[in-house]
């Protein structure tokens, strides 16, 4: 099709509207229109600011305008006519396009943006949103009398599908638009969406899909996600349109005049320079990786903010109202800078941002590119980004990211294998929507790309779990949630089951959060009450504090007063040296791709030219005092220090994989009687210390590093550790909640979580010892492979370095070891189980008592 023919698909009124705004339809917008007109599903890959959203809606707007296909339009104008289909009624017209976004704020924003062209062109189209905030009366009306275009989220889609009128509501559906698809598919929400999509394709067989995505490493995988997969034909996929790339981004690394820190993430050394950058730009987004960093950077910037620039703070723990206020001020152009976390990675367009500063490690090439794309949401102007490494290792990572950006390399993760806990939630949802045959549902589920490899055995195990818990001991038949009727169709046992499903739908399991309320410092013992809500913190962060401790939150230094039910009460504090908050959030591991690049950079001195001089010198001294790790090798250094023996290694595989490695190595060193005491990990290295001298033991023979690092540690050692690992228990808890074993919310009574739930840790212990192959434990292990324990990455590393371990026995600490050694004392020290901590606490007490 020629450009002219494509342009012909655009009705005059649309062409005039474009012209009236001084715009020309972009090539990819017309191309998408042509594909959609031909009844094809399309994935549009475009950089931010490419008019992506309008492109996605254009086919729908044209079809619904009645200007393009007159016979169809006549029906569309009288949307309430009912047509008998023989055994049911279907509505002529009805819901035409469903738009799904990862953020409800984005859905609301897009709806507002769409209203404008629709109003200006006078199109007879009703556009509505449906989110958790939509009033019940409106939701009910939407089911009865749906708009032509509905904008919603994956969770709301699941809820709509889990009702008896889903066939009526979605039977008329022509198109589903999946926005920010690259962000949706990488999590369990993507799994849930894929299952919802499979169901939609069954309810509306003529439906097509439009996917909108940023640039990814494997667009074909996303294109597969968008259409039903059939086992017998080779992978079906949507057509892919690549929008013309915008101007290449202008990205650089801050060339600091200050001394680069050895460790830490605060980037305190560069704050003056960051402030100058803010001063010399219109509006800057200052991205950091964790919420605690956001707090620290925000604090420091205000300390030097002599010109009183409007600098705001935005992260996921802050109260929603506060975040909306910041977003509003940003949109109105009132702010000069926002210090933020991934909470602003997606979402609303802000044309005025002309600089993105990324403080800390970039973590991934695609990720950093998407962040930088937040500057200048206009495609023809280059986005401007400055990377600010917070320490020396991060300089290497920034350098690797800059090289990757220059080459246009992408490192988004591969498509997920659908999680079994999400499937369990979906199966229950299907039963709530109406009775189903297992054969039919299995066929439907396997059309979803993440589940295309699902075996019938696993599917049946999931159905069994939903029905009676999936236990080998068949104790709960009489308590079944779904049962087979005489036709062998599965039905919910009673309406209570459906009510509880609806309260617990979704795959986002928040850590147990406590409200943070600001009160006046407490002189008396009176229990605090009321107080302004500042936001939420993870319960496990508060668990490490005692009353009187201070920490930074919501831009203020606060004193922990007390905890009452679900709230932490805090007061303002004048403390100078607050405790660093350890609450997590936004901790992504370094991408495998970038890790390989960093290893390569380190291994090749000829590439150090591009590095700042102080970093180059650091590496040169390392090469002289010890040696540089080769790109395929694992360098292991040993040295004594202050009566202890240290073992350092540099896998560059990210903190999570290193922590798991540390746990397993200490178990093995313990067994070899080398008496390990603890370890600490950062993104690049791992340090283990103890009383035994590893180097001496190697010299004497009978012990080798290749044995210590043998892959078989992923067998029994891993299993033994998983039995008691708090991270594994947290992983299990998430699966138990998503699968519906443990409920987050209960109908009727609004009890607090502590009152009604049972500890999933206890359930984990019991289940693990009685039915280790239970479906939920399998789901948790699958999560552990990539999640908090990153076992798969560790496995890949161990196999990569087999036979390639280089040991360097040193007299003292090497330059490369310094950064991770500095983490000792800053980070919580991990060690063998909690037993030794108990003994230590007891011994301290005895010492105090006897001194």
Partner 1 sequence: MRSAHLAAQRDEEHTFALAGAEIVADPSGALYWPDERMLVVADLHLEKGSAFAKRGVLLPPYDTASTLARLAGVLLRYAPRSVVALGDSFHDGDGPRRMSSVDETTLRTLRGGRDWIWIAGNHDAELPRDLGGSFAASLAVGPLIFRHLPLAGVADGEVAGHLHPVARLSQRGRSVSRRCFTSDGRRLVMPAFGAYAGGLNIRDGAFFGLFGTLAYSALMLGEQRVYALSAARCFPD
Which residues of the shown chain bind partner 1 in the complex (CB under 8 A)? 468-469, 471, 473, 475-476, 479, 481, 496-497, 500, 540, 543-544, 546, 563, 582, 741-743, 758-759, 762-763, 765-767, 769-771, 774, 827-831, 833-835, 837-843, 845-847, 849-850
Contact (CB, 8 A) for 658 and 789: no
Closest approach, Cβ 426 to partner 1, in A, equals 17
Residue 498 CB, nearest approach to partner 1 (Å): 12
Residue 4 vs 642, nearer CB to partner 1: 642
Distance separating alpha carbons of residues 842 and 200, to the nearest angstrom: 60
Neighbours of 366 (CB within 10 A): 25
Q: Measured from the CB of residue 157, what is the shortest distance to partner 1 in angstroms?
A: 25
Name the minimum Å distance from CB 544 to partner 1. Answer: 6
In the complex, what is the shortest distance from the CB of residue 25 to partner 1, in angstroms, rounded to a whole number? Answer: 55
Among candidate residues 370, 407, 402, the one with its CA nearest the CA of residue 598: 402
Question: Closest separation between CB of residue 839 and partner 1, Å?
Answer: 7
| Min CB(658)–partner 1 separation in Å | 18
CB count in 10 Å sphere of residue 524: 5
Q: How far, in Å, CA of 438 to CA of 463, rounded?
A: 8
Residue 380 or 543 with smaller CB distance to partner 1? 543
Distances (CA, A) of 427 to 418, 444, 784: 13, 11, 23
Do the Cβ atoms of 167 and 189 come closer than 8 Å? Answer: no
Q: Are 152 and 129 in contact (CB under 8 A)?
A: yes
Mark out the alpha helices in 171-252 (DSSP H runs). Answer: 181-184, 188-203, 219-225
3-state SS record for 681-712: ECCCCEEEEECCCHHHHHHHCCCCHHHHCCHH
Task: For the chain, give the number of residues.
Answer: 851
What gap in Å lies between CA 80 and CA 422, rounded to an integer? 36
Q: How far is the CB of 264 from partner 1 (least distance, A)?
A: 17
Minimum distance, C-beta of residue 711 to partner 1, in the bound complex (Å)? 28
Task: Please measure the distance between the N-terminal and C-terminal CA atoms of the chain and give it in whole angstroms.
Answer: 90
Pick between residue 301 and residue 498 the one whose CB is nearest to partner 1.
498
| Rounded-to-integer distance, Cα 235 and Cα 230, Å | 7
In the complex, the smallest distance separating the C-beta of residue 850 from partner 1, rounded to whole angstroms, is 5
Q: Which one, 307 or 847, has the nearer CB to partner 1?
A: 847
Nearer to partner 1, 348 or 763 (CB): 763
CB count in 10 Å sphere of residue 547? 11
Place of tokens 């002529």: 92
For 33, the token pair is 């229109």
629: tokens are 């790790």
Q: How far is CA 716 from CA 104, 311, 668, 713, 735, in A?
A: 44, 52, 11, 7, 23
Smallest separation, CB 851 to partner 1 (Å)? 10
Q: Is 150 helix (H, G, I), strand (E, B) or coil?
A: strand
Nearer to partner 1, 37 or 644 (CB): 644
The two three-digit tokens of residue 322, written as one number: 């506060």
Q: Which two tokens stand for residue 780?
A: 């948790």
Give the contacts of 671 (CB within 8 A, at least 6 positions apart).
Answer: none
Query: Shortest gap between Cβ of 229 and partner 1 (angstroms)?
Result: 32
Nearer to partner 1, 88 or 845 (CB): 845
Which one, 260 or 431, has the nearer CB to partner 1?
431
- By the 8 A CB rule, do 362 and 401 touch? yes
Contact 402, 387 (CB under 8 A): yes
Rounded to whole angstroms, how far apart are CA atoms 277 and 385?
11
Q: Is the Cβ of residue 439 or residue 842 nearer to partner 1 in the bound state? A: 842
- Residue 677 vs 810, nearer CB to partner 1: 677
Q: Minimum distance between the CB of residue 678 and partner 1, rounded to whole angstroms?
A: 8
Q: For residues 242 and 476, which CB has a smaller minimum distance to partner 1 in the complex?
A: 476
Determine the Cα–Cα distance for residues 10 and 693; give it in Å rounded to an integer.
76
Question: How far apart are the C-alpha atoms of 439 and 650, rounded to whole Å?
Answer: 50
Instruction: Using the minimum distance from each CB to partner 1, give the nearer residue, 572 or 579.
Output: 579
Instruction: State which residue, 514 or 713, has the beta carbon closest to partner 1.
Output: 514
For partner 1, which is the closer residue by CB, 415 or 467? 467
Q: How far is CA 695 from the centre of its chain?
A: 41
Element (H, E) at 213: strand 208-213
584 alpha carbon, distance to own chain's centre: 13
C-alpha separations of 20 from 14, 16, 246, 730, 746 in Å: 10, 6, 24, 56, 54
Q: Kindly state the smallest distance separating residue 826's Cβ from partner 1, in Å.
A: 10
Cα separation, 293 vs 309, whole angstroms: 20
The smaller minimum CB distance to partner 1, of residues 521 and 834, is found at: 834
The H-or-E segment that residue 616 falls in is helix 613-625
353 neighbors 284 (Cβ within 8 angstroms): yes
Return the biggest CA–CA distance within the chain.
95
Q: How far is the CB of 662 from partner 1 (least distance, A)?
A: 14
Supply the minimum distance, in Å, between the C-beta of residue 371 and partner 1. 31
Decide whether 233 or 758 has the Cβ nearer to partner 1: 758
* Residue number, 69 or 761, with CB nearest to partner 1: 761
Strands (E), 106-207: 127-129, 149-152, 175-178
Q: Minimum distance between the CB of residue 239 and partner 1, rounded to whole angstroms?
A: 45
Q: Are 168 and 88 in contact (CB under 8 A)?
A: yes
């Amino acid at each position: 099709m020629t450009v002219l023919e494509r342009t012909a698909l655009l009705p005059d009124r649309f062409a005039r509207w474009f012209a009236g705004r001084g715009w020309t339809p972009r090539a990819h917008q017309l191309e998408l229109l042509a594909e959609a007109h031909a009844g094809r599903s399309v994935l549009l890959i475009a950089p931010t600011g490419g008019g992506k959203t309008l492109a996605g809606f254009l086919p729908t707007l044209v079809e619904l305008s009645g200007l393009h296909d007159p016979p169809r339009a006549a029906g569309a104008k009288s949307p309430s006519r009912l047509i008998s289909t023989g055994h049911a009624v279907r509505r002529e017209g009805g819901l035409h396009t469903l738009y799904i976004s990862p953020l409800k704020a984005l859905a609301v924003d897009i709806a507002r943006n769409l209203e404008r062209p629709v109003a200006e062109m006078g199109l007879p189209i009703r556009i509505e949103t449906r989110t958790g905030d939509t009033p019940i009366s409106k939701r009910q009306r939407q089911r009865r009398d749906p708009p032509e275009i509905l904008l919603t989220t994956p969770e709301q889609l699941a809820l709509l599908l889990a009702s008896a009128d889903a066939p009526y509501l979605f039977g008329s559906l022509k198109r589903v638009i999946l926005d920010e698809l690259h962000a949706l598919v990488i999590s369990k929400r993507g799994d849930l969406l894929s299952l919802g999509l499979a169901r939609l394709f069954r309810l509306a067989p003529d439906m097509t899909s439009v996917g909108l995505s940023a640039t990814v490493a494997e667009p074909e995988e996303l294109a597969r996600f968008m259409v039903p997969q059939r086992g017998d034909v080779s992978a079906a996929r949507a057509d892919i349109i690549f929008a013309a790339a915008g101007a290449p981004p202008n990205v650089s690394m801050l060339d600091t005049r200050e001394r680069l820190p050895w460790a830490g993430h605060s980037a305190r050394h560069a704050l003056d320079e960051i402030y100058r950058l803010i001063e010399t730009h219109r509006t800057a987004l200052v991205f950091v990786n964790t919420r605690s960093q956001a707090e620290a950077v925000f604090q420091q910037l205000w300390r030097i903010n002599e010109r009183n620039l409007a600098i705001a703070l935005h992260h996921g723990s802050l109260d929603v109202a506060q975040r909306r206020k910041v977003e509003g001020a940003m949109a109105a152009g009132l702010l000069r800078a926002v210090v933020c976390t991934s909470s602003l990675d997606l979402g609303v367009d802000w044309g005025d941002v002309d600089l993105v500063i990324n403080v800390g490690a970039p973590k991934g090439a695609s990720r950093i590119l998407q962040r930088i794309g937040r500057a200048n949401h206009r495609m023809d102007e280059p986005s401007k980004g400055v990377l600010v490494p917070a320490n020396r290792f991060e300089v290497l990572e920034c350098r690797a990211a800059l090289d990757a950006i220059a080459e246009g390399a992408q490192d988004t993760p591969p498509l997920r294998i659908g999680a079994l806990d999400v499937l369990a939630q979906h199966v229950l949802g299907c039963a709530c929507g109406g009775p189903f045959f297992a054969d039919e549902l299995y066929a439907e589920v396997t059309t979803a790309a993440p589940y295309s490899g699902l075996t019938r055995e696993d599917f049946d195990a999931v159905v069994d779990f939903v029905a009676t818990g999936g236990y080998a001991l068949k104790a709960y038949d009489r308590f079944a949630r779904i049962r087979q009727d005489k036709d062998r169709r599965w039905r919910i046992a009673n309406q209570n089951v459906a009510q509880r499903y609806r309260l617990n739908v979704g795959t986002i399991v928040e850590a147990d959060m406590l409200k943070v309320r600001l009160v006046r410092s407490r002189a008396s013992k009176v229990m605090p009450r009321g107080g302004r809500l500042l936001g939420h913190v993870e319960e496990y962060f508060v668990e490490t504090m005692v009353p009187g401790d201070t920490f930074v939150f919501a831009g203020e230094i606060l004193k922990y007063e007390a905890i009452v039910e679900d709230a932490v009460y805090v007061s303002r504090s004048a403390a100078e040296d607050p405790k660093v908050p350890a609450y997590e959030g936004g901790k992504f591991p370094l991408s495998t791709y970038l890790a390989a690049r960093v290893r390569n950079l380190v291994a090749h001195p000829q590439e150090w030219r591009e590095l700042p001089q102080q970093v180059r010198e650091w590496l040169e001294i390392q090469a002289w005092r010890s040696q540089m790790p080769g790109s395929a090798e694992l360098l292991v250094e040993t040295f004594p220090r202050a009566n202890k023996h240290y073992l350092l290694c540099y896998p560059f595989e990210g903190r999570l994989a290193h922590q798991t490695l540390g746990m397993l190595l200490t178990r093995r060193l313990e067994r070899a009687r080398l008496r390990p005491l603890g370890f600490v990990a950062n993104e690049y290295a791992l340090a283990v210390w103890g009383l035994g001298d590893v180097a001496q033991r190697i010299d004497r023979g009978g012990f080798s590093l290749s044995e210590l690092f043998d892959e078989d540690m992923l067998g029994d050692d891993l299993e033994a550790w998983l039995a008691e690992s708090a991270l594994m228990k947290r992983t299990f808890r998430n699966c138990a909640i998503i699968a519906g074993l443990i409920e987050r919310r209960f109908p009727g009574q609004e009890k607090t979580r502590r009152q009604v739930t049972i500890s999933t840790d206890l359930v984990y212990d019991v289940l693990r010892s009685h039915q280790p192959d239970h479906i939920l434990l399998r789901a948790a292990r699958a999560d552990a492979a990539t999640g908090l324990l990153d076992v798969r990455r560790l496995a890949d590393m161990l196999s990569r370095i087999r036979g390639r371990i280089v040991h360097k026995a040193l007299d003292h600490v090497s330059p490369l070891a310094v950064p991770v050694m500095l983490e000792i004392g800053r980070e919580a020290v991990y060690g063998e189980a909690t037993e030794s901590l108990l003994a230590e606490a007891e011994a301290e007490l005895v010492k105090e008592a006897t001194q």
